[in-house]
Structure 1
């Protein structure tokens, strides 16, 4: 069989994967915090027809003669560029301006004075996201659409000698809880969550902190706008205060939109379609050549 036929098949498979990625990008053009994918290709190992030879006294050197055997999938990259910001004026809609991700956690709550101070088993249940559409549950915890806790440095509630509510600093990797009886609340650019208690006093519920990765492209998508850490993502050990150490700042009342550019995706779609058609022509032409060989014997 002709090598060109198998080269054409490999090219068709590659173009199919490229079209799959483009289709997923277009489907998520309005998904908050979505990061587009990109496909790259590599050539396959080439078959050597003749090796290279060095120059001799009576002649010069000779280059190798090789025939390529097609293409193969190289990488499918996640492009973590900044998406556009959409203003919503909703205080629990948060967007990140810069590098970093919100941290989400699942697990059993360990409580002190009816206030959560940690999540047991949380290390195996951490996930990361750029989608900042958060909500309050019945107990005042800030959660995402799937009920996962937004993680940061939580404050511990207590009462002083006069019976007034006071807030003490907590520790990292804890859910953020706003007093359910609060009159109002706000979230600052550094992630500090403040609320007005029943007495009209300003209190601090905690501070949302973010995770930073040296290689965000190494994160693994798990669906529902979430990512999980991998051995190649380069997670910084400690959570970072928004706006410090080169980390992103938080903008309340807005959402980060998808970074998909429709004009670019449609152009890539045309390129992939024409690439697929060209590879089918290779197979068709190779088939015609084989047919001519078969017809030699009549």
Structure 2
């Protein structure tokens, strides 16, 4: 008799947990990027009343007689399928059009100088060293914001992570020779503070240093070219102009930066005496492409590549820990994050670069970024209400088991009167 009471109690407890999960799903039916959960039950241990016997010469075999001792919650599973898109037409809103991929955000200080960044193994697509005081989280909520300094943030202030863009900006021409400089959009100080001469080439974008993440204007000295004036540099944290139409445009896939969309970018330019200077060019507008590259339209009509949103996937996304505020963190069963490669295009006659960067490019396996939209919750309200009815009826049935057992015990106690 006591077994039925215990079974009823376990049923109440299990169905209460199911109702808790259903209630949470319904409460988050309008939460951006929310993934619904479901409860799976398993029967509890059983008490053996009579053991099984095998067939003999005179008698057939008999089955074991067991009485179950209730139910328990076996697992709470997460449905990681993508939700529908809600078009907002807001240029800071982003959604990922594929399940299992996540934006990367961090709590901590800004990361502009490569020495302060999160290190990435571009071949294995894994994270290495993370700066002290920095914690990385993952989210499907792309409702990003800007602060007064232009830093790209989540709604509660977490910093959005991504790659810096690199390109070879043409500086000036001297006869048939064109001079250019390797420039990085977000980097440590660039310019005369570290290197003082420019590179000359008869072909724009000769890639003598294409495989490295260059953060200074570099090159060989030329008698026809003046060195950079002492004032011609771009400070760490300032966003430098990188031409989005550059055939050498690529992301620095070895460092994760905190992204910034400034009110103006710093651009190298040359005067009539071929001296190179830096000027501020106002940002009129910006957009985020399907590959996550942020492009800004400038007041002089040029388009700058500012950075690229980072993206990560997991071997078991259902194993991620829910940290609240639409953030997820890794767990022992989620696996380590697998990062999407930074933007890069194959470059003709650059075998070493293509072999090291292009051959390791895994971006084709990731979803596209939908700018001006947010992912809605994947909660199916019709299913949740149906499950709620089933769970509530099961709860009532288990309570009936307890009251029936109580009535039976009361009758048994009354026999001694």
TM-score normalised to the size of structure 1?
0.92
Does the CA-based 8 Å contact 1:179-1:205 persist in structure 2?
A: no
Q: Please say if residues 215 and 234 of structure 1, whose CA atoms lie closer than 8 Å, have aligned partners that are also in contact.
A: yes
| Structure 2 match to 1:63 | 63
Question: 2:237 matched to 1:118?
Answer: no
1:141-194 CA-partner distances (Å, limit 9, x unpaired): 211011111112123345776979533854432112223221111100010111
Alignment partners' CA distance in 2, 1:107 and 1:260 = 32
Q: Aligned ranges for residues 25-40 of structure 1 at < 5 Å?
A: 25-40=25-40
Determine whether 1:109 maps to 2:192: no
* Higher alpha-carbon deviation: 170-179 or 94-103: 170-179
- 2:324 counterpart (223, 226, 234): 223
Question: Secondary structure of the equivalent of 2:363?
Answer: coil
Gaps of 5+ in 1: none
Matched, 1:294 2:413: yes
Q: Does the 8 Å contact 1:212/1:240 carry over to 2?
A: no
Larger radius of gyration: 2
Q: CA deviation at 1:199?
A: 2.6
Change (3 A) 1:100 1:240: farther
Contact kept, 8 Å, 2:111 with 2:258, in 1: the verdict is no
Matched, 1:166 2:273: no
Structure 1 window deviating more from structure 2 (118-127 vs 85-94): it is 118-127
Decide whether aligned partners of structure 1 residues 236 and 225 sit closer, same or farther in structure 2, where only a CA change above 3 A counts.
closer
Structure 2 counterpart of 1:152, from 156, 162, 165: 162
Q: 3-state SS of the aligned residue for 1:173?
A: strand
Alpha carbons 2:87, 2:373 under 8 Å: kept: yes
C-alpha contact 2:93 2:374 (8 A) present in aligned 1: yes
Maintained 8 Å contact 1:128/1:227: yes
Displacement of 1:69 after TM fit? Answer: 0.3
Residue 392 of structure 2 corresponds to residue 273 of structure 1: yes
Deviation at 1:107, TM superposition (A): 1.8
Deviations 1:12-62 (A, max 9, x none): 011111111111011111000000111111111000001111111222211
Distance in 2 separating the partners of 1:271 and 1:191: 43
Asked whether the 8 Å contact 1:190–1:241 carries over to 2, the reply is: no
Sort the Cα spacing of 1:44 and 1:241 in 2 relative to 1 into closer, same or farther, 3 A.
Answer: farther
User: Given the two structures, how large is their TM-score scaled by the length of structure 2?
Assistant: 0.67
CA distance in 2, matches of 1:129, 1:146: 13
Deviation sequence 1:112-152 (CA, Å, 0-9, x none)? 4xx99626636850101111100112222211011111112
CA distance in 1, matches of 2:286, 2:115: 19
- Do the aligned residues in 1 keep the contact of 2:111 with 2:257 (CA within 8 Å)? no
Distance 1:46 1:172 in 2: 56
How far apart, in 2, do the equivalents of 1:173 and 1:122 lie? 14
| 3-state SS, counterpart of residue 14 of structure 1 | helix
Partner of 1:261: 380
Q: Does 1:205 align with 2:306?
A: yes
Q: Secondary structure of the equivalent of 1:108?
A: coil
Q: Is the 8 A contact 1:105 1:122 kept in 2?
A: no
Matched, 1:176 2:176: no
The answer as to 2:335 corresponding to 1:252 is: no
Instruction: Tell me: CA distance 1:94–1:295, structure 2 relative to 1, closer, same or farther (3 Å).
Output: same
Q: Which residue of 1 aligns with 2:402?
A: 283
Match of 2:153 among 131, 143, 148: 143
- Alignment of 1:48 with 2:167, yes or no, is no
